[in-house]
Chains A and B, each alone.
Chain A
Amino acid sequence: MTILQVENLSTYYKTDRGEAQAVENVSFSMKKGEMLGLIGESGCGKTTVAQSILRLIEYPGRIVSGKAYLDGIDLLTAKQDELEKLRWKDISVIPQSAMNALNPIYTIGDQIVESILIHEDVSKATAIKRTEELLEMVGIKKNRFKNYPHEFSGGMKQRVAIAMALSCNPKLIISDESTTGLDVLTQAQIIALIKQLQKDLGLSIILISHDLPMVTSVCDRVAIMYAGKIVELANTQDILKHCSHPYSNGLLNATPDLSNPDKEVVSIPGSVPDLVKPPTGCRFYDRCKARMNVCKEESPDLKEIRPDHFSACFLEGGGYYHVQ
């Protein structure tokens, strides 16, 4: 069953030089209970996709076109009051930096209770009890209900944020670089916690990250973004074994492999194109080792190269045969 269906989403940001096409024509869908990894280097539009789905894009940004159906309801055209009801109840977020995402003058317990009381018709006592259960679930003792955010470490704040995201049993959770700013050990703990909760509660999660090994270790499917577009979308195994798009390959080659210490790590030369004046052809053209003449003229669409494996490349088999 499809829980989220994003179609042709484009989001631009106004700049002094014109509009930057931060997200251009992005489409993907995800099934219920699935964990989808959204990956790419910074500035490629991952967070903008998330914020567009949440309708949190504010001036100077605007959603130019597209649809995002969550369980049949288009989030992008929902009215403000509908949106207020949908948010958190249907779609919640584990934010980019939990350090700043908690209001400093209210206790963490009160902030979780607030989100429950907005959306559910329950008594305050019930909401408090539920909050205590949620805190225990993410590994925080319930007697810390009355503590303020500054009394927690970064990792614990992140746990609080996870508890908050779970508070209304949402249909979809977006984890937007939730481990940024945490040490490696804590990162691993937080990701393990998210994965555990996803399995236990059957959650649908979009995991946004730039950490390829982390994403491939926990996600069912992976979407790779480059310069505002999805370039490859497939099951994790397919991405790892049958990686096709030249950019995805570059990304894989740029990642060290613990099981294969002799692997040569190669970075992708060049830099991302200017999104205010993006190339008319493929956005990866300048940096692509396998570029062809057609790549300069036309922009490749995402097409199915094998069952459930999509790649946006003009090379035969979406680049797959080129790589092999």
Chain B
Amino acid sequence: MYKFKFLYSKMIQYVLVIFLILTLNFLLPRLMPGSPLAYLAGEDVGLMTSEEKQKILDKHGLNDSITTQYIDYLSNIFTGDFGFSYQQKVPISDLIEDRLPWTLLLTGLNLVISTILGVIFGAMAAWKRGTKTDINLLTGFMFLSAMPSFWIGMILVSLFASKLGWFPVFGAETAWADYQGMERLLDIGHHMILPLITLILISVTTTFMTMRYSMLNVLGEDYIQMAKAKGVKEKTIKYKHAMRNALLPVATVFMLSLGFMLGGATVIETVFAYPGIGRLMFEAVVSRDYPLIQATFLIITFSVIIANFIADILYPLLDPKVGKENG
């Protein structure tokens, strides 16, 4: 009963947040400078009469009052209709359907791999606090986090893709090659390696630092000394008693990153011309493609909300204290 009540009040909060986001999302592109007309009509816009211009704006509903536009916008969203992209002249839902899996694949893999690496190295550094291993790891990860993501991406592209030719320069798979099955998987993997490495390099440090710090705290706790006094083996102390406790803050970082999965790879997707949501958003902003901008922003913000919701449900499973407080 309490559990239900808790979920119910959470739900109301989320509905409010979603409504606010929808409204902001509607207003934001309309507050930006520049007119979409040029992009709607292409280069011909200079030759058009004002009547013709009005016709185009009418066609896309841009001459209606703000309220009408807002109501249209809301009703369309709830029927899953994001409208047509001004620029690409295709239904936006098709575009998103195309792009979403690529981003999810890339950032999902990054999230899993960088979390695992960060946790392992963070725990190792803390376990060997003050030794060479710790200092080397710490310096290495600090160095990585200090480098801008686009720069790492460009270096990797120019070295491994252009110079050495080991990896493709752009895209998520070879166009028109029409590979099937295993061959296609390998091709996708081959394309993904460089952007994935770049993403891992820039995101692993956060997890590493969080894990190292949290593990250091846990290792100073009385129950670790108690476990030693109990004759628990070093390995068991490290994994069962220390790491399991130290994972809680890492889980928070993980949940936060989960929310930024879709939007967080924009720069990398642009550098590697990777056909994901981030790049779609970038293209939309550059060409002032209002409906597309709205749709990508919306998808990204929704993913943050969904991640929060997942965190709300999962956290009690990790920390027995949280579960009891909520219910």
Interface, chain A (partner B; CB < 8 A):
54, 56, 83-89, 92-93, 95-97, 100-105, 114-115, 118-119, 148, 150-151, 164
Chain B residues near A84 (CB-CB < 8 A): 231-233
Chain A residues near B225 (CB-CB < 8 A): 56, 95, 101
Chain B residues near A83 (CB-CB < 8 A): 231
Chain A residues near B132 (CB-CB < 8 A): none
Chain B residues near A102 (CB-CB < 8 A): 223, 226
A99 → chain B, closest Cβ, in Å? 8
A181 → chain B, closest Cβ, in Å? 12
Which residues of B from 189 to 231 have beta carbons under 8 Å from A? 221-223, 225-231
Would you call B319 an interface residue if the criterion is a C-beta within 8 Å of the partner chain's C-beta atoms? yes
Q: Would B321 and A118 count as touching, CB distance under 8 A?
A: no
Name the contact of B229 in the complex, choosing from A92, A97, A100 (C-beta under 8 A): A92
Most chain B beta-carbon neighbours within 10 Å: one of A84, A86, A105, A114 = A105
Given A96-B222, A97-B222, A100-B221, CB of A118 within 8 Å of CB of B230? yes
Q: Would B321 and A104 count as touching, CB distance under 8 A?
A: yes
* The 8 residue pairs across chains A and B that have the minimum distance between CB atoms: A87-B231, A100-B222, A101-B226, A103-B223, A101-B222, A148-B320, A84-B231, A88-B231
Name the contact of B230 in the complex, choosing from A114, A148, A150 (C-beta under 8 A): A114
Give the size of the chain B interface in residues (CB under 8 angstroms). Answer: 19
Chain B residues near A164 (CB-CB < 8 A): 230
Q: Would B324 and A119 count as touching, CB distance under 8 A?
A: no
Q: Would B231 and A85 count as touching, CB distance under 8 A?
A: yes
Interface, chain B (partner A; CB < 8 A):
221-223, 225-233, 241, 244-245, 319-321, 324
Name the contact of A93 in the complex, choosing from B223, B229, B320 (C-beta under 8 A): B229
- A-B contact sample (11 more), CB < 8 A, given A104-B245, A114-B230, A164-B230: A85-B231, A88-B229, A89-B231, A92-B230, A93-B226, A93-B229, A96-B222, A103-B226, A104-B320, A105-B245, A118-B231
Given A100-B221, A103-B223, A105-B244, CB of A87 within 8 Å of CB of B229? yes
Chain A residues near B227 (CB-CB < 8 A): 103
B320 → chain A, closest Cβ, in Å? 5
Q: Would A148 and B231 count as touching, CB distance under 8 A?
A: no
B108 → chain A, closest Cβ, in Å? 27
Task: Give Cα A196 to B276, complex, Å.
Answer: 71
Task: Give Cα A261 to B321, complex, Å.
Answer: 47
Q: Which residue of chain A has the shortest Cβ distance to B233 in the bound complex? A: A84
A122 → chain B, closest Cβ, in Å? 15
Q: Would A114 and B232 count as touching, CB distance under 8 A?
A: yes
Task: Give Cα A119 to B229, complex, Å.
Answer: 12
Task: Give Cα A89 to B229, complex, Å.
Answer: 10
Q: Would A86 and B231 count as touching, CB distance under 8 A?
A: yes
Task: Give Cα A86 to B231, complex, Å.
Answer: 7
B164 → chain A, closest Cβ, in Å? 47
B37 → chain A, closest Cβ, in Å? 60
Q: Would B231 and A95 count as touching, CB distance under 8 A?
A: no
